[in-house]
Amino acid sequence: MDRYVVIGNPVAHSLSPEIHARFAAATGEAMAYDRLLVERGDFARAAHAFFGGGGRGANVTLPFKEDAFAFSQSRTARAEQAGAVNTLAAKEGSILGDNTDGAGLVRDLTANLGLALAGRRILLLGAGGAARGVVAPLLALSPAVLVIANRTEERARELARRFADLGPVQPAGLDAPGEAFDLVLNATSTSTRGEPLALRPAVFAPGATAYDMAYGKSALAFLETARAAGARPCDGLGMLVEQAAESFLLWRGRKPETASVIAALRAA
């Protein structure tokens, strides 16, 4: 049976095995999908061992997306653009790297949540692996501005420079963005570690949507702050399922249906 894994640290919490098991059952694809916990600094050895042993593909999560970029032997245009890889596939004797985070987020925002973002103001908090993957697809929605705000401001500046040709993108420090935004995306890892993220309530424009890329209990603190400021709270479960569907398409050549999977995971 074709073998797939999600590689991360931590990885025990990952819902990816359950999502791909549901996709496989719905499409009739024969595949096994497990979690692979890897120590920091050990990514290349572990990935080499997995693919050397016949593994067909991997999802890559925190903190290894930049390691996966370096490990892949060829890359899709969107992975190259992001400088981060969240999906690896064994293709014709070599390892292809892709980045499905941006497509997954945009599909959740537009198709599932019904947001129209052309001409809107977007604030992206964070400049790590997840943020890198979503900047270009967000700019493709033609927002009025995309502000990238990060604790380490230099990383926000580096990302803004990287994507400057694609649309109106500006860097800021975490406490710096002085205006209100229609969509505030939390792509920091504070939620997954239960760390506080101080935000001015005025950052949310009237009718704003607050979206945490983390999901379930992890997203609660950020989304409670947003709700108290009058914003519509959304967690990243839909993005997780949508980016997984894009990975599944790359691996198996079939795009699984997602709405029922999101609903089932939400109910559980």
Asked if omega into 201 is within 30° of 0 (cis), the reply is no
Annotated active-site residue 255? The verdict is no
Give bridge partners of residue 210 from the DSSP assignment.
184, 233
Binders of ligand NDP among residues 170 to 189 (CB under 6 A) are 174, 187-189
For ligand NDP, which residue has the nearest CB? 128
Nearest to 122 by CA among 104, 141, 99: 141
Q: Which two tokens stand for residue 28?
A: 């009739």
Identify the three-state secondary structure at position 146.
strand
3-state secondary structure 18-80: HHHHHHHHHHCCCEEEEEEECCCCCHHHHHHHHHHCCCCEEEECCCCHHHHHHHCCEECHHHH
Task: Examine residue 127 and tell whether it contacts ligand NDP (CB under 6 A).
Answer: yes
Binding pattern for the stretch 205-244 against ligand NDP, x by CB under 6 A and - elsewhere? --------xxx--------------------x--xx--x-
CB 46 → ligand NDP: shortest distance, Å?
A: 17
Q: Least CB distance from residue 268 to ligand NDP, whole Å?
A: 16
Output the smallest distance, CB 100 to ligand NDP, in A.
Answer: 9
Q: How far is the CB of 65 from ligand NDP (least distance, A)?
A: 6
Instruction: Count Cβ atoms below 10 Å from residue 8 Cβ, excluding itself.
Output: 23
- Is 96 or 187 the residue whose CB approaches ligand NDP more closely? 187
Name the strand (E) or helix (H) holding 89: strand 87-91
Enzyme catalytic residues = 65
Please report, as ranges, the residues that interact with ligand NDP according to CB under 6 A: 62-63, 65, 101, 104, 126-131, 150-152, 155, 174, 187-192, 195, 197, 213-215, 236, 239-240, 243
